[in-house]
Amino acid sequence: MKTFTLLPVRSLLEGGRESAKPGSILKAGGVDLLDRMKEGLETPDRVVSIAHVPGHDGIEVGPPARIGALATLARLDSHAELRRVYPALADAAGGAATPQIRNMATLGGNLAQRPRCWYFRQAEFDCTKKGGAQCFALNGENRFHAIFDTDVCCCIHPSATAVALLAYAARVDTVGTRGKRSISIEDFFVAPREDPTRENQLAAGEVIEAVVLPAPAPGSRSVYKKLKEKESFDWPLVETAVSVSVSRGTIQDARVVLGSVSPVPRRARGAEKILAGARPSAELIARAAEAAVAGATPLSQNAHKVRLARVMVERALREILA
Amino acid sequence: MPAVGQNVLRKEGRGKVTGAAKYVDDLSFPGMLYGSTIRSTIPCGRIRSTRPEFDPSEWVVAGVPDIPGKNVIALIEDDQPCLADGRVRHVAEPILLLAHADREALAGAKVAVDYEPETPVYDPAASPRVFKEILIEKGDLGKGFSRAARVVEGEYRTGHQEQLYIECNGVIAVPENGGITVYGSLQCPYYVHKALVVLLGLPPERVRVVQTETGGGFGGKEEYPSMLAGHASILALKAGRPVKMVYDRVEDMLATTKRHPSIVRHRTGVASDGRIVAMDIDVLMDGGAYLTLSPVVLSRGVLHATGPYRCDDVRVHGRVVMTNTPPNGAFRGFGAPQTLFAAEVHMERISEALEMDPVRLRELNLFRPGDTTATGQVLGADCSAAEVLREAVARTGFDARRQALSGTNAGIGLSLFFHGSGFTGGGEVRLASRASLALTPTGARILVGSTEIGQGTRTIHAQIVADALGIPYENVEVSDADTACVPDSGPTVASRTCMVVGKILQNCALEMKARLGSLSPARYLELHGPLVVTREYEKPAELEWSDETYRGDAYGAYGWGCNVAEVERDPDTFEIRPVRLTAVCEIGKAIHPTLAAGQIEGGTAQGIGYAILEEVVFRDGAMANAQMTNYVVPTTLDTPPIDVVILESAYPHGPHGAKGIGEMPIDGPAPAIVNAIRHMGVDLRQIPATPERVMEASCVSP
Asked if the interface predicted TM-score (ipTM) of this complex is over 0.85, the answer is yes
Tens-digit pLDDT profile for residues B90-116? 999 999 999 999 998 898 899 999 999
The C-alpha of B612 sits at a distance from chain A's nearest C-alpha, in angstroms, of 10
Relative to beta strand A5-8, strand A46-49 is: parallel
Q: How many other β-carbons are positioned within 10 Å of the β-carbon of residue A200? A: 21
Architecture of domain A220-320: 2-Layer Sandwich (3.30)
Q: State pLDDT tens for residues B130-160.
A: 999 999 999 999 999 999 999 999 999 999 9
Average pLDDT, chain B: 97
Q: List the beta bridge partners of residue B153.
A: B267
Asked if residues A244 and A319 have their Cβ atoms less than 8 Å apart, the reply is no
B199, B67 Cβ separation under 8 angstroms: yes
Measured CA to CA, the distance from residue B471 to residue B3 in angstroms comes to: 9
**pLDDT at res. B318:** 98
Return the CA Rg of chain A: 19
pLDDT in tens, B657-695: 999 999 999 999 999 999 999 999 999 999 999 998 999
Residue-wise pLDDT for B6-59, tens only, equals: 999 999 999 999 999 999 999 999 999 999 999 999 999 999 999 999 988 889
Please give the Cα distance from B123 to B121 (Å, whole number).
6
Q: Is 80 exceeded by the pLDDT of residue B218?
A: yes
Q: Residue A234: list chain B partners with CB under 8 A.
A: 632
For A98, nearest residue in chain B (alpha carbons) = B635
Assign B699 a pLDDT band (cuts: 50, 70, 90). Answer: confident
Map out the domains of chain A as residue ranges.
Answer: 220-320
Query: Which residue in B has a C-alpha nearest to residue A3's C-alpha?
Result: B104
Give percent of chain B with pLDDT exceeding 70.
Answer: 100
Instruction: Tell me the pairing of strands A206-213 and A250-259.
Output: unpaired
In this structure, CATH architecture of domain B31-119+163-255? 2-Layer Sandwich (3.30)
A1 contacts B624? CB cut-off 8 A: no
B31-119+163-255 and B262-425+550-700 have identical folds = yes
- Which residues of chain A does B629 touch, with a Cβ-Cβ cutoff of 8 Å? 116, 118, 121, 235
CB spacing of A39 vs B695 below 8 angstroms? no
Global pTM value: 0.95
**Inter-chain CB proximity A232 and B630 less than 8 Å:** no
Q: Domain limits of chain B? A: 13-21+427-536, 31-119+163-255, 262-425+550-700
Residue A122 confidence (pLDDT) above 90: no
Residue-averaged pLDDT of chain A: 96
Q: CATH second-level architecture of B262-425+550-700?
A: 2-Layer Sandwich (3.30)
pLDDT per residue over A123-165, tens digit each? 889 999 999 999 999 999 899 999 999 999 999 999 999 999 9
Searching chain A, which residue's CA lies closest to the CA of residue B574?
A: A308
Separation in Å, CA of A13 to nearest CA in chain B: 32
- Residues B232-286 have pLDDT tens digits of 999 999 999 999 999 999 999 999 999 999 999 999 999 999 999 999 999 999 9
- What is the mean pLDDT of the segment spanning A57-81? 97
Interface test with B, best of A118, A126, A311 (most B CBs within 10 A): A118
B142 class by beta-carbon count within 10 Å (0-12 exposed, 13-18 middle, 19+ buried): exposed
A-interface mutation test, from B40, B619, B635, most A Cβ less than 10 A away: B635
**What CATH topology corresponds to B13-21+427-536?**
Aldehyde Oxidoreductase; domain 4 (3.30.365)
What are the CA-CA distances from residue A106 to residues A109, B95, B193, B498 (Å)? 5, 43, 49, 49
Indicate if the pLDDT at residue B701 is higher than 80: no
| Chain B positions with Cβ closer than 8 Å to A | 41, 104, 107, 248, 250, 572-573, 575, 613, 617, 619, 624-627, 629-630, 632-638, 691-692, 695, 702
φ and ψ at B643, to 5 degrees? -95, 105
**Mutation target among B249, B570, B572, B617 for the A interface, most CBs of A within 10 A:** B572
- What's the pLDDT tens digit per position in A163-185? 999 999 999 999 999 999 999 99
| Gap from A308 CA to chain B (nearest CA, Å) | 6
Q: What pLDDT, on a 0 to 100 scale, did the predictor assign at position B677?
A: 98
Q: Angle, nearest 10°, between helix axes B385-396 and B358-365?
A: 160
Give the whole-angstrom CA distance, residue B147 versus residue B144.
5
Distance from CA of B48 to the nearest CA of A (A): 22
Task: Map B551-576 to HEC letters.
Answer: EECCCCEEEEEEEEEEEEECCCCCCE
Question: Does residue A261 have a pLDDT over 80?
Answer: yes
Decide if A118 and B633 are in contact by the 8 Å CB cutoff: no
**pLDDT classification of B702: cutoffs 50, 70, 90:** low
3-state secondary structure chain A: CCCCEEEECCCHHHHHHHHCCCCEEEECCCHHHHHHHHCCCCCCCEEEECCCCCCCCCEECCCCEEEECCCEHHHHHHCHHHHHHCHHHHHHHHCCCCHHHHHHCEHHHHHHCCCCCCCCCCCCCCEHHHCCCECCCCCCCCCCCCCCCCCCCCCCCCCHHHHHHHHCCCEEEEEECCEEEEEEHHHHECCCCCCCCCCECCCCCEEEEEEEECCCCCCEEEEEEEECCCCCCCCCCEEEEEEEEEECCEEEEEEEEEECCCCCCEECHHHHHHHCCCCCCHHHHHHHHHHHCCCCCCCCCCCHHHHHHHHHHHHHHHHHHC
The amino acid at residue A316 is A
Q: At what angle do helices B669-678 and B336-354 cross, to 10 degrees?
A: 30
Q: Measure CB to CB from residue B613 to each of A230, A314, A315 and give the nearest one.
A: A230
- Per-residue pLDDT of B67-80, as tens digits, reads 999 999 999 999 99
Q: Which among B41, B624, B692 is the nearest to A118, CB-wise?
A: B624
